[in-house]
Amino acid sequence: MRIIGGSLRGLRLNPPKNLPVRPTTDLAKEALFNILQNQIEFEGLKVLDLFCGTGNISLEFASREAAQVIAVDRSIPCVNYVKDTAKQHHLDQIKTYKADVFKFLEIETEKFDLIFADPPYDLNRIPEIPKIIFDKRLLNPGGMLIVEHQSMQNLSNHPAFVEQRKYGHSSFSFFR
Residue-wise pLDDT for 57-92, tens only, equals 999 999 999 999 999 999 999 999 999 999 999 999
The answer as to CATH 3.40.50.920 being correct for domain 6-16+24-175 is no
Residue 67 phi/psi, 5-degree rounding, is -75, -35
pLDDT of res. 174: 98
Residue type (1 letter), 31 = A
To the nearest 5 percent, what fractions of the chain are helix, strand and coil?
30, 30, 45
pLDDT of res. 24: 84
C-alpha 153/C-alpha 173 separation (Å) is 10
Percent of the chain with pLDDT over 90: 90
pTM of the model: 0.96
Decide if pLDDT at 26 tops 90: no
pLDDT of res. 150: 95
Decide if pLDDT at 48 tops 90: yes
The burial of 14, by beta-carbon neighbours within 10 Å (0-12 exposed, 13-18 middle, 19 or more buried), is given as exposed
Decide if pLDDT at 20 tops 90: no
Residue 68 phi/psi, 5-degree rounding, is -150, 135
* DSSP character at residue 78: H
Least confident of 11-20, 84-93, 95-104, 118-127: 11-20
Mean pLDDT along residues 139-168: 96
Mean pLDDT along residues 110-138: 97
Tell me the pLDDT of the chain averaged across its residues: 96
SS3 labels along 89-155: CCCCCEEEEECCHHHHHHHCCCCEEEEEECCCCCCCCCCHHHHHHHHCCCEEEEEEEEEEEECCCCC
Greatest extent of the chain over all pairs of C-alpha atoms, in Å: 42
Q: How confident is the model at residue 18 (pLDDT cuts 50, 70, 90)?
A: confident
pLDDT of res. 86: 98
Decide if pLDDT at 142 tops 90: yes
CA 145 to chain centre: 9
pLDDT of res. 168: 87
Decide if pLDDT at 176 tops 90: yes
